[in-house]
Every structure is written in structure tokens, then in C-alpha cells.
Amino acid sequence: MTLRNLIVTAMVLGAGLPVGGAHQVKADDTTVYELRTYMAAPGKMAELQKRFRDHTTQIFEKHGMKSVGYWVSEKQPDVLIYILVHKNREAADKSWKAFRRDPEWLRVFAESQKNGSLTKKVESVYMTPTDFSPLK
């Protein structure tokens, strides 16, 4: 997805309109967005996407993390990018702590690592909307 499409999607979500089955995102003054970027290990992108598709997104939801969207970089097809929305930073920290201790996640993660790590680098950036942002 292009940056333009990402911005349009964010604006639609910010207006409370459903997009392709995405969660309706209603934010308040403390809402925090988290931009995460995963660089897949060589030859592991399909497995990484499968883990997200089949397990990770559902476990996120279980722990209160709402998915805004998932994308693959057009210029770097081994890069998975996604955005989560959290009620606030404290909720984000609490959700991640619970996620990392979740028995289902620990099982899925261990199983997915049997033939080597699926990622070579993971980056996370927390973002708060500006007062003029259509997505708040």
C-alpha cells in the first residue's frame, strides 16, 4: 500500500467508517498508535505473514490491541509494516506484557522458530495524533 493509501485509510478510520472489515477506531485524547516494522529473515516472509494471519492478530485482539492495518513495503518486499491502536501508553505496555506471557503465543512463537528466526529486525514507534490530525 502506498503512503497515500495509508493516509486515506487512516482518515476513513478516523471518521469512524468501516474499511474492509477493519475495526472502527474511536480515539480520545490519550490514544496511542504504534507503528511496527518487521524485517523478515531471508526467505521467511511467507512464514512471518502466516504467523500473523493465523495466530498473532487474534492474540493481539485477545489482549486489547486493535489492528489498524498490515502492509508489505513496495520497495522492500521482505518488510512487514503494521499499526496498532491502544487506549493509552499504559494500556499498550500492559497489553504487550500480557501478550508476551500468553501461553498460546509462546507455543506459536516456539513452533514458528523451529527452522530459524522469522525476523532479523523489529522496530516500534509510538505515535500520538496532533491536534490537527484527522485521525485522533
Full-model pTM: 0.77
Quote the DSSP letter at residue 118: S
Q: Are 82 and 36 in contact (CB under 8 A)?
A: yes
pLDDT of 109 higher than 50 = yes
In sequence order, what are the beta bridge partners of 116?
none
Euclidean distance between CA atoms 11 and 28, whole angstroms: 15
pLDDT digits (tens, 9 = 90+) for 9-18: 444 444 343 4
Q: Would you state the pLDDT for residue 134?
A: 85
Model confidence band, residue 131 (pLDDT cutoffs 50, 70, 90): confident
Least confident piece of the model among 12-21, 82-91, 101-110: 12-21
Report how far apart, in Å, the C-alpha atoms of 83 and of each of 32, 114, 126 are. Answer: 10, 27, 10
